[in-house]
Amino acid sequence: LEAAMKVLFLDIDGVLNTQKFIVASQKKTDKQHAVPDEGPKSFTLDELAEMMEAREKADPVKVAKERWDWHVNMLDPVRIKRLNRIVNETGCVVVLSSSWRIGMDLWELSAMLQSKGAEFTLLSKTPSKTTNDECRGDEIWWWIRDWNDDVARKKMDEGNIVDRFVILDDDSDMGMLMANLVRTSFFGEDDEAGLNETHVEECIRRLNS
């Protein structure tokens, strides 16, 4: 199993950004969307209904551009560079487990990451839980199970079987997969919060062990 597949399950908020980074980036976004200095104005329900209706008819390109800007502004190139190092030094593939995966296409998510310096393409994203009794660890497990079943069914090369994985996340709802978590923090000083050098070393050590 020397060549078996290594997977890094990627969360975004709290890994590729931090509380401080988001506060700074939202100031930028507010400026782009021309939020007045005194903060967003409050509207009557009639005004809101009219605005929402207008938005539904708005230029889809403009809407997509706003979504793109909003997300890309929240991705920190410094932390993406650190993630590149894990990918390059271990040869792992990256599967998105972040809530960012919901409602966005894989190609768009990859393009967002690449626009901020990612040197990899997302392979896949995890399925979504359907009840509150399930946790992110379950979603990750279903992905691994289904992938390996698929490899077995298609009699693909043994090298495609997942045998090592790490979960990069600032949350701990990993259930039975807790031991595979490399936990980051959303809060804290710049050199500590988000994906830091210690996490990078830990991921490399685990994936290359």
Contacts with Mg ion, residue ranges (CB under 5 A): 11, 13-14, 170
**Residue facing Mg ion at closest CB distance:** 14
d(CA 175, CA 124): 21
Q: Kindly list the distances between the CA atom of residue 59 and the CA atoms of 55, 63, 64, 111, 125, in Å, as whole numbers in the listed order.
A: 8, 6, 9, 21, 29
Our CB check for Mg ion shows the closer of 13 and 139 to be: 13
CB of 195 to Mg ion, least distance (A): 11
Our CB check for Mg ion shows the closer of 11 and 76 to be: 11
CB of 169 to Mg ion, least distance (A): 6
- CA angle (35, 72, 21) in 5-degree steps: 75
Our CB check for Mg ion shows the closer of 14 and 137 to be: 14
Give the residues across from 9 on adjacent strands.
95, 167
d(CA 159, CA 156): 8
d(CA 182, CA 198): 10
Our CB check for Mg ion shows the closer of 12 and 151 to be: 12
CB of 152 to Mg ion, least distance (A): 32
CB of 168 to Mg ion, least distance (A): 9
CB of 134 to Mg ion, least distance (A): 17
CB of 133 to Mg ion, least distance (A): 20
Which residues have C-beta within 8 Å of that of residue 29, sequence separation ≥ 6? 69, 70, 73
Our CB check for Mg ion shows the closer of 32 and 99 to be: 99
Q: H helices within the chain, ranges in order?
A: 19-32, 45-56, 60-72, 77-90, 106-115, 136-153, 197-207
Our CB check for Mg ion shows the closer of 13 and 138 to be: 13
d(CA 204, CA 92): 9
